Chain A
Amino acid sequence: MRILAIETSCDETSFALLQGEGDIITIEKNLVASQIDIHAKYGGVVPEVAARQHTETFIPLLKELGINENGDGIDVIAVTAGPGLVPALRIGVAGAATLAWSWDKPLVGVNHLEGHLYSCFIDDPKPAFPAIGLLVSGGHTEIVLMKGHGEYELLGMTRDDAAGEAYDKAAKLMGLGYPGGPVIDKLSLEGAPDAITFPRPMIKTPDFDFSFSGLKTAVRTFVLENPEAKNEDICHAFQEAVVDVLCTKTLKAMEQHQPKSLFLSGGVSANKRLRTELGNRLKEQFPDMTYHIPAFHYCTDNAAMIATAGYYKALKKEFTDPLTLLADPSLQLD
Chain B
Amino acid sequence: MTHTSHSPEETQQLAKDLVATFKGGEFVELLGDLGAGKTTFAQGVGQALGVKRPLRSPTFTIMNIYKTDHSTIKQLVHIDCYRLQETCDLRALELEEWLGKPDTLILTEWPLKNMAGEIKTIRVTLESQSETLRTITINT
Contact = CB atoms under 8 A, between A and B. Distances in A.
A65 interface: no
Interface stretch (A155-163, A284-292, A318-326): A155-163
Among A49, A83, A162, the one with the most B-chain Cβ atoms within 10 Å of its Cβ is A49
A217 interface: yes
Interface stretch (A29-37, A84-92, A236-244): A84-92
Among B62, B65, B66, the one with the most A-chain Cβ atoms within 10 Å of its Cβ is B62
Contact of B59 (A46, A138, A159, A220): A138
Contact of B34 (A50, A85, A164, A172): A172
A12 to B, nearest CB: 12
Interface residues of B, number: 26
A139 interface: yes
Interface in A306-334: 329-330
Contacts of A217: 35, 131
A48 B93 CA distance: 12
Contacts of B40: 160, 213
A160 B34 contact: no
B62 to A, nearest CB: 5
A104 B50 CA distance: 44
Nearest to A138: B60
Interface string B23-39: 00000000000110001
A10 B58 CA distance: 12
10 contacts: A49-B88, A50-B89, A137-B60, A161-B39, A161-B56, A169-B34, A218-B131, A220-B35, A329-B64, A330-B66
4 closest A-B pairs by CB: A139-B60, A50-B92, A138-B60, A217-B35
